[in-house]
Amino acid sequence: MRRRGGGRLAAGAPLGALAVAAAVLAGCGPRVAVPPPPFTLAADSLGETALPAVARRPENLAKACDGSGETRWTSAAPIAAGYFVELAFPRERAVSALTLDAAPSRGDAPDRVLVEVSRDGRDWEELGEFGPSPAGDGKTRIDVKPPRPVRRIMVRVLEPAPHWWSIYEVTVEYARD
Ligand SMILES: [Ca+2]
Protein backbone atom coordinates (compact mmCIF):
# COMPACT_ATOMS: atom_id res chain seq x y z
CA MET A 1 0.00 0.00 0.00
CA ARG A 2 1.49 3.31 -0.98
CA ARG A 3 0.31 6.74 -0.24
CA ARG A 4 1.55 10.22 0.30
CA GLY A 5 2.41 11.24 3.82
CA GLY A 6 3.41 8.92 6.61
CA GLY A 7 1.18 7.50 9.24
CA ARG A 8 -2.27 6.37 9.99
CA LEU A 9 -2.19 8.67 12.96
CA ALA A 10 -0.29 11.61 11.60
CA ALA A 11 1.16 13.16 8.49
CA GLY A 12 4.82 12.85 7.58
CA ALA A 13 7.36 14.86 9.49
CA PRO A 14 8.52 18.11 7.96
CA LEU A 15 12.04 17.70 6.64
CA GLY A 16 13.27 20.84 8.34
CA ALA A 17 12.30 19.57 11.73
CA LEU A 18 13.79 16.20 10.88
CA ALA A 19 17.09 17.80 10.05
CA VAL A 20 17.13 19.53 13.41
CA ALA A 21 16.44 16.29 15.22
CA ALA A 22 19.05 14.47 13.18
CA ALA A 23 21.58 17.11 14.04
CA VAL A 24 20.91 16.61 17.71
CA LEU A 25 21.58 12.93 17.25
CA ALA A 26 24.45 13.25 14.85
CA GLY A 27 26.75 11.17 17.02
CA CYS A 28 24.49 8.17 16.87
CA GLY A 29 25.16 6.74 13.43
CA PRO A 30 28.89 6.05 13.44
CA ARG A 31 28.71 4.20 16.72
CA VAL A 32 26.13 1.77 15.43
CA ALA A 33 28.05 -1.32 14.91
CA VAL A 34 28.40 -3.44 11.88
CA PRO A 35 27.88 -3.11 8.97
CA PRO A 36 29.20 0.42 8.99
CA PRO A 37 27.43 3.62 9.63
CA PRO A 38 23.97 2.39 8.94
CA PHE A 39 21.55 4.90 10.32
CA THR A 40 20.80 7.81 12.50
CA LEU A 41 17.93 7.71 14.89
CA ALA A 42 15.85 10.76 14.35
CA ALA A 43 12.47 11.91 15.33
CA ASP A 44 10.36 14.94 15.88
CA SER A 45 6.84 15.93 16.70
CA LEU A 46 4.33 15.30 13.99
CA GLY A 47 1.99 17.75 15.63
CA GLU A 48 -1.11 15.61 15.71
CA THR A 49 -0.49 13.70 18.87
CA ALA A 50 0.24 15.15 22.24
CA LEU A 51 3.36 13.28 23.18
CA PRO A 52 5.51 11.84 20.41
CA ALA A 53 8.26 9.66 21.77
CA VAL A 54 10.98 12.19 21.31
CA ALA A 55 9.06 14.77 23.24
CA ARG A 56 10.02 12.53 26.10
CA ARG A 57 13.71 12.79 26.91
CA PRO A 58 15.05 13.29 23.37
CA GLU A 59 18.47 13.86 24.87
CA ASN A 60 18.65 10.16 25.60
CA LEU A 61 17.58 8.88 22.20
CA ALA A 62 21.19 8.31 21.15
CA LYS A 63 21.43 5.68 23.86
CA ALA A 64 19.21 3.47 21.72
CA CYS A 65 22.09 3.06 19.28
CA ASP A 66 25.28 3.50 21.28
CA GLY A 67 26.30 -0.15 21.02
CA SER A 68 25.55 -0.86 24.66
CA GLY A 69 22.77 -3.16 25.75
CA GLU A 70 22.85 -1.52 29.17
CA THR A 71 21.98 2.03 28.16
CA ARG A 72 18.58 3.02 26.94
CA TRP A 73 16.27 5.63 25.67
CA THR A 74 13.06 5.65 27.64
CA SER A 75 9.92 7.70 27.56
CA ALA A 76 10.06 7.98 31.36
CA ALA A 77 6.30 8.18 31.20
CA PRO A 78 3.43 5.87 30.31
CA ILE A 79 3.15 5.08 26.63
CA ALA A 80 0.69 7.16 24.65
CA ALA A 81 -0.68 6.34 21.22
CA GLY A 82 1.35 8.24 18.66
CA TYR A 83 4.73 7.85 20.34
CA PHE A 84 7.21 7.04 17.62
CA VAL A 85 10.81 6.61 16.73
CA GLU A 86 12.15 7.04 13.24
CA LEU A 87 15.27 5.69 11.66
CA ALA A 88 16.77 7.94 9.02
CA PHE A 89 19.50 6.34 6.92
CA PRO A 90 22.11 8.52 5.28
CA ARG A 91 21.56 6.61 2.05
CA GLU A 92 19.22 3.96 0.75
CA ARG A 93 19.79 0.61 2.40
CA ALA A 94 18.25 -2.80 1.71
CA VAL A 95 16.77 -3.61 5.09
CA SER A 96 15.57 -7.09 5.97
CA ALA A 97 14.72 -6.65 9.63
CA LEU A 98 15.10 -4.51 12.69
CA THR A 99 14.82 -5.29 16.36
CA LEU A 100 13.95 -2.95 19.19
CA ASP A 101 15.43 -4.40 22.35
CA ALA A 102 13.85 -3.70 25.71
CA ALA A 103 15.21 -6.87 27.27
CA PRO A 104 16.56 -5.46 30.52
CA SER A 105 13.13 -3.89 31.15
CA ARG A 106 10.99 -6.50 29.50
CA GLY A 107 7.71 -4.84 30.19
CA ASP A 108 8.77 -1.63 28.48
CA ALA A 109 7.75 -2.55 24.94
CA PRO A 110 4.62 -1.27 23.20
CA ASP A 111 1.88 -3.82 22.69
CA ARG A 112 1.47 -2.88 19.05
CA VAL A 113 3.40 -0.69 16.68
CA LEU A 114 2.67 0.32 13.12
CA VAL A 115 5.76 0.24 10.91
CA GLU A 116 6.13 2.21 7.69
CA VAL A 117 9.05 2.60 5.32
CA SER A 118 9.92 5.24 2.78
CA ARG A 119 12.56 5.72 0.11
CA ASP A 120 12.18 9.49 -0.04
CA GLY A 121 10.37 10.67 3.09
CA ARG A 122 7.25 11.53 1.10
CA ASP A 123 5.70 8.28 -0.06
CA TRP A 124 5.28 5.74 2.69
CA GLU A 125 4.60 2.05 2.53
CA GLU A 126 2.95 0.28 5.41
CA LEU A 127 4.75 -2.89 6.50
CA GLY A 128 2.15 -3.87 9.05
CA GLU A 129 1.68 -4.10 12.77
CA PHE A 130 4.15 -5.75 15.11
CA GLY A 131 4.35 -6.56 18.79
CA PRO A 132 6.81 -7.93 21.34
CA SER A 133 8.12 -11.44 20.90
CA PRO A 134 5.82 -14.09 22.36
CA ALA A 135 8.92 -15.48 24.03
CA GLY A 136 8.67 -12.61 26.50
CA ASP A 137 12.27 -11.53 25.97
CA GLY A 138 11.39 -7.87 25.59
CA LYS A 139 12.39 -7.74 21.94
CA THR A 140 10.21 -6.45 19.15
CA ARG A 141 11.39 -7.90 15.85
CA ILE A 142 10.18 -6.33 12.64
CA ASP A 143 10.77 -8.43 9.56
CA VAL A 144 10.83 -6.59 6.25
CA LYS A 145 9.49 -9.12 3.77
CA PRO A 146 10.64 -9.03 1.13
CA PRO A 147 13.69 -6.95 2.01
CA ARG A 148 13.57 -3.60 0.25
CA PRO A 149 15.56 -0.40 -0.12
CA VAL A 150 14.58 2.30 2.35
CA ARG A 151 15.90 5.53 3.73
CA ARG A 152 13.42 6.00 6.53
CA ILE A 153 11.59 3.67 8.89
CA MET A 154 8.83 4.91 11.17
CA VAL A 155 7.76 2.87 14.19
CA ARG A 156 4.63 4.29 15.74
CA VAL A 157 2.74 3.16 18.81
CA LEU A 158 -0.92 2.39 18.21
CA GLU A 159 -2.23 1.92 21.72
CA PRO A 160 -1.54 3.55 25.08
CA ALA A 161 -0.08 1.50 27.90
CA PRO A 162 0.49 2.16 31.61
CA HIS A 163 4.21 1.38 31.39
CA TRP A 164 7.17 3.21 29.90
CA TRP A 165 8.66 2.64 26.46
CA SER A 166 12.33 1.74 26.61
CA ILE A 167 14.74 0.94 23.79
CA TYR A 168 18.15 -0.31 24.84
CA GLU A 169 19.38 -0.90 21.30
CA VAL A 170 18.06 -0.83 17.77
CA THR A 171 19.57 -3.51 15.56
CA VAL A 172 19.16 -3.33 11.79
CA GLU A 173 19.73 -6.26 9.48
CA TYR A 174 20.58 -5.80 5.82
CA ALA A 175 19.83 -8.03 2.87
CA ARG A 176 22.69 -6.62 0.85
CA ASP A 177 24.61 -3.41 0.48
CA1 LIG B 1 22.13 1.37 24.27
**How far is it, in rounded angstroms, from Cα 114 to Cα 143?**
12
Confidence grade of residue 99 (pLDDT, cut at 50, 70, 90): very high
User: The pTM is what?
Assistant: 0.73
Cα–ligand 1 centroid distance for 73 (angstroms): 7
Cα–ligand 1 centroid distance for 90 (angstroms): 20
**How far is it, in rounded angstroms, from Cα 58 to Cα 43?**
9
Cα–ligand 1 centroid distance for 161 (angstroms): 23
Cα–ligand 1 centroid distance for 76 (angstroms): 15
Task: Say whether pLDDT at 169 is over 50.
Answer: yes
Cα–ligand 1 centroid distance for 123 (angstroms): 30
Confidence grade of residue 82 (pLDDT, cut at 50, 70, 90): confident
Cα–ligand 1 centroid distance for 115 (angstroms): 21
Return the domain boundaries, the chain.
2-176
- Residue-level pLDDT at 74: 87
Respond yes or no on whether the N-terminal peptide bond of residue 146 is cis (omega within 30° of 0): yes
Span of 4-13, 76-85, 138-147 with lowest mean pLDDT: 4-13
Q: Report which of residues 84 and 46 the model is more confident about.
A: 84
Cα–ligand 1 centroid distance for 94 (angstroms): 23
How much of the chain exceeds pLDDT 70, in percent? Answer: 66
How much of the chain exceeds pLDDT 90, in percent? Answer: 32
- Residue-level pLDDT at 8: 39
Cα–ligand 1 centroid distance for 129 (angstroms): 24
Cα–ligand 1 centroid distance for 72 (angstroms): 5
Q: What are phi and psi of 60, to 5 degrees?
A: -100, 5
**How far is it, in rounded angstroms, from Cα 1 to Cα 84?**
20
Confidence grade of residue 5 (pLDDT, cut at 50, 70, 90): very low
At the topology level, CATH places domain 2-176 in Jelly Rolls (2.60.120)
27-66 tens-digit pLDDT = 333 333 233 334 555 544 333 333 445 545 666 777 888 8
DSSP 7-66: -SSSPPPPHHHHHHHHHHTTTTGGGS-SSSS--EEE----SSSS--GGGS-GGGGGGGGS
Q: Which residues surround ligand 1, an ion (CB under 5 A)?
A: 63, 66, 68, 71, 168-169
- Residue-level pLDDT at 39: 54
Cα–ligand 1 centroid distance for 67 (angstroms): 5
Confidence grade of residue 22 (pLDDT, cut at 50, 70, 90): very low
Q: What is the mean pLDDT of residues 75-102?
A: 86
**How far is it, in rounded angstroms, from Cα 82 to Cα 156?**
6
100-122 tens-digit pLDDT = 999 999 889 999 999 999 998 88
